[in-house]
Amino acid sequence: MGIFALTRWPGLMPPNFSAAYALVFCAGIYFPRKLLWWLPLSTLLLSDLLMNHFYYHTDLVSWYMLVNYLVFGALIWLGTKFSAQDSFLKLLSGGLLGAILFYLVTNTAAWVQNPEYAKNFPGWIQALTVGTAGWPETWKFFRNTLLSGGLFTGLFVGIMKLTLSSEASEKEEPEAEEAESAPEGTKASGTQRS
């Protein structure tokens, strides 16, 4: 989690290219119930507070942060609807869906809050595609959100699948060795065959 927090520092990755979307989604799948909510959200909050103070030199907390945290919470909840036993493709699709939801909700919030956007359907489309003058087009943020959501979800899920597969193999090996070393005519549990 510490490494994840460090990767959020501005300038280390392209804008909106973050492991956050994948991390909170995968937390819903893999984290123990005790850590499920507080560990990812507190890591995000602490890193946001530090960035707001030391990098952006702005208020520590803003209403827009609340929107982000509501969406991060929704992504954790989305992750709880999946299982570690689901296919790689299904979990990857869930991570991509989470990244799309994050982008749609946060850009809609920016559309509502920013007076530069007309409060109509074309204004909302502007918020989702080109943004406002002086900033990169928002479709580029969407591209980075989608790419990073897919990449990091794929990495996290791939590592977990390999780890779970390796642990299952290790559990099977001692059982197989026990069965091989049992005297003929007995089961590994020591009972006689009928």
**Surface-to-core class of residue 33, CB atoms within 10 Å of its CB (0-12 exposed, 13-18 middle, 19+ buried):** exposed
- Percent of the chain at pLDDT > 90 equals 71
End-to-end Cα spacing for the chain:
55
pLDDT tens-place string over residues 132-156:
999 899 999 999 999 999 999 999 9
| 39: containing domain | 2-7+14-47+62-169
pTM of the model: 0.83
pLDDT tens-place string over residues 103-113:
999 999 999 99
Q: Is residue 188 part of a domain?
A: no
Q: Cα angle at 41 between 45 and 129, to 5 degrees?
A: 80
Q: Is residue 85 part of a domain?
A: yes
Q: How many structural domains does the chain have?
A: 1
